[in-house]
Amino acid sequence: MGFFGNIARALGFETEDEQVKVKKVKKTEPKATFNLKKDKIERPDKIDGIKVIYIEKIDDTKKALQIFKNDEPVLVNIEYAEDKSRALGFLEGATHMSKGSMATIEENRLLILLPEGVEIE
């Protein structure tokens, strides 16, 4: 499950299968301290110190890239984007040009942009 699973769980994106796995593995504490369902916040600005940007229009990708340009990881929610494929392409190109990386946490919903030298365990 790892880091991505904890972030997805924090935002409330978990399936029934993942809930069963979490119940079986009680030895390790989740690293994410934020829980969307428990904290009753619909759109958090930060999750465990990582800024969250919600893309609705293509111009919103610029906000995410400004943070990314300052060598900070960024969570990007594209669930409500007008043109998901265009926003995704723009983000992929920008991360590639800056030698960073982009990982999908929840398909068609949640991405994380990682600057060069930042890895996820």
- Express each pLDDT in 63-102 by its tens digit: 999 999 899 999 999 988 999 889 999 999 999 998 999 9
Residue 25 lies in a domain: yes
Residue 108 lies in a domain: yes
Residue 33 lies in a domain: yes
Give me the CATH number covering residue 70.
3.30.110.150
pTM for this predicted structure: 0.63
Tokens of 110: 């949640």
Residue 10 lies in a domain: yes
Residue 67 lies in a domain: yes
Structurally, the chain folds into a number of domains equal to 1
Residue 120 lies in a domain: no
Give the domain extent around 35. 2-114
What SS3 class is residue 3? helix
Q: Quickly list H helices, the chain.
A: 2-10, 16-24, 36-39, 60-69, 84-97
Element (H, E) at 110: strand 110-114
Residue 119 lies in a domain: no
